Structure 1
Amino acid sequence: MPLSDRAILREPTVTVLARPQFSEPGHLPVQWIGEATDGERLAEYAGRLCYMSQRNPAGRDTREYLENIKKQGHGSVLEHANYSLLLEGISRSLTHELVRHRAGFAYSQLSQRYVDESDAQFVMPPAIIGDVPLEDAWTAQVGAALDSYVGLVEQLMSRYAWVDDKVHRRKMAREAARGVLPNSTETKIVVTGNARAWRTMLELRSSEAAELEIRRLAVLALRVLQQEAPAFFSDFEIYLASDRREAARITYHKV
């Protein structure tokens, strides 16, 4: 059966699920200057505690303070601020790369073993988009894979009809049939990471050397996080690379 337009995804989405909430203790207040998010103030507070500099002797506002932190490479204070993002419209090929970033991250991903993929969507690789013959060939291939999956689930449900527990029977069928689904199958994943970990991942995956789909996601996630906590990500610059696609570069490496 031909895939509908709805089944083909060409862009990812990023949704913020959680952000830091900072509660300043009354007995150790900081002399704050300027506007800041809770995450930024949490990092500044942690940094000032190390030297008991709550009186802010240099008279820096929060974002100046964190700029100096990045410049000096004292990135450990950024680890206190965690951000949780829901990533959708991405392929399982992408998440195989994403979850290699372990330090400072937590992941919860859609399970093909438990979730019915009969109405699965598929993420068209950026390199294919805009080339009609390539788009048609790719669409035909993922459509055939989906048909195979649906057929296998039906056959496996019949084969295991003797299993009285219907939930377990469906799980047995789906876990076997999912093997024919391609890496382009869309998945959803919740990713929680501290600001330092996000910086490292974004530096690597938004670069021109990164694979195109994860690079596209990294640039989008960077934009979202720059809105959430500008001081943590202000030294990233998004630009149009020589391949006419967006990439990003960073000023302070491996903070």
Structure 2
Amino acid sequence: MTVTLIATNQLVSRAIDVGAEHPYVAHDTTGSDVAEFAGRACYQSWTRPNEATATNPGYLAHILEVAHGSVLEHGTATLYFTDLSRACTHEVVRHRHFSPSQLSQRFVNGEDSAMIVPPLVAEAGGEALKVFHEATDAARVAYTLLSDLLADHIITNHPEVTGTARRKATREAARSVLPNATDTAVVLTANYRAWRHFVHLRATEHADAEIRAVALDVLAIMQGVAPAVFADFELSEVNGVTVAHSPIGSV
């Protein structure tokens, strides 16, 4: 499984005319600074009158402390996830504030789809891994056979359906036999608050093992993108697995 940062939002300029005597001058132009700007807009505190919140990290630490999480929604990050299972993305896309664009099984041929081995199956190995491979190999064989049979059926009974339309029709039906382990890819855009919520729920010992690994990778990336927003999450070991917890929560 790989998670890649592909985009973030930012202020168009460090100096912004806010209709005050002097323009607002941001520390930088990152999404963290967008979040700070949004917070200061609520209270018109453009001149940073409070020394404790004069820096961006100080300001965002206060935002987390008082759970003013709405301003974190103005910072966004887009991540590209590859080599994860459909079972995992079925859980990922349940997060309401994510904007997903996922690999299409209607357009992409599934004959050579990789199968993502669940962590527990990989750990068990032996007979468990053998059963997994036998089942997923059989599913790929069934997919190929079904695709061929359905293509022949369309050629015979619906000759007007050709080219891409025929391929879509066969693949959308044949994909029904592919398992949850089938490899997929998805682009996700979300705001900082939504990413915090994702990590808060999915990087714990209670989460599915695959999505927990995803969430930990997301946390590592987001701590680089917006360190002040994600610095409160700490890693620990629980029952032999690495998890992340925050005393603040998802705000």
Q: Please, what TM-score do these two structures have when normalized by structure 1?
A: 0.89
Return the match for 1:16 from 5, 22, 47: 5
CA distance in 2 between counterparts of 1:84 and 1:72 reads 27
Q: For residue 251 of structure 1, what is the aligned residue in structure 2?
A: 247
CA distance in 2 between counterparts of 1:105 and 1:132 reads 35
Cα deviation, 1:61-94, whole Å, max 9, x if unaligned, reads: 1011101100000011100011111111111111
Question: For the Cα contact (< 8 Å) 1:37–1:229, is it kept in 2?
Answer: no
- Alignment map for 1:225-236 (pairs within 5 Å): 225-236=222-233
Per-residue deviation at 1:23? Answer: 2.1
Question: For the Cα contact (< 8 Å) 1:94–1:214, is it kept in 2?
Answer: yes
Over the residues paired in the alignment, what is the CA RMSD in angstroms? 1.5
Q: For residue 104 of structure 2, what is the aligned residue in structure 1?
A: 111
Per-residue deviation at 1:32? Answer: 4.8
Question: For the Cα contact (< 8 Å) 1:30–1:56, is it kept in 2?
Answer: no
**1:198 paired to 2:188:** no
Question: For the Cα contact (< 8 Å) 1:32–1:61, is it kept in 2?
Answer: no
CA distance in 1 between counterparts of 2:26 and 2:172 reads 54
SS across alignment from 2:184 = strand
Per-residue deviation at 1:121? Answer: 0.7
Cα deviation, 1:213-249, whole Å, max 9, x if unaligned, reads: 111111111111111111111111122221x121110
Q: For residue 81 of structure 1, what is the aligned residue in structure 2?
A: 75
CA distance in 2 between counterparts of 1:100 and 1:18 reads 22
SS across alignment from 1:117 = coil
**1:72 paired to 2:66:** yes
SS across alignment from 1:127 = helix
SS across alignment from 1:89 = strand
Cα deviation, 1:170-225, whole Å, max 9, x if unaligned, reads: 11111111111000001111111000011111100111111111111111111111
Task: Give the aligned residue type for 1:218.
Answer: A
Return the match for 1:44 from 26, 36, 40: 36
Cα deviation, 1:145-180, whole Å, max 9, x if unaligned, reads: 111111111111111114342211111111111111
Structure 1 residue runs without a partner (length 5+): 1-11
- Alignment map for 1:123-202 (pairs within 5 Å): 123-133=116-126, 134-162=128-156, 163-164=159-160, 165-202=162-199
Question: For the Cα contact (< 8 Å) 1:88–1:188, is it kept in 2?
Answer: yes
Q: For residue 9 of structure 1, what is the aligned residue in structure 2?
A: none
CA distance in 2 between counterparts of 1:156 and 1:32 reads 60
Structure 2 residue runs without a partner (length 5+): none
CA distance in 1 between counterparts of 2:148 and 2:25 reads 66
Task: Give the aligned residue type for 1:245.
Answer: V
Task: Give the aligned residue type for 2:50.
Answer: A
Distance 1:112 1:61, change over 3 A: same
SS across alignment from 1:129 = helix
Per-residue deviation at 1:31? Answer: 5.1
Q: Please, what TM-score do these two structures have when normalized by structure 2?
A: 0.91
CA distance in 2 between counterparts of 1:31 and 1:89 reads 42
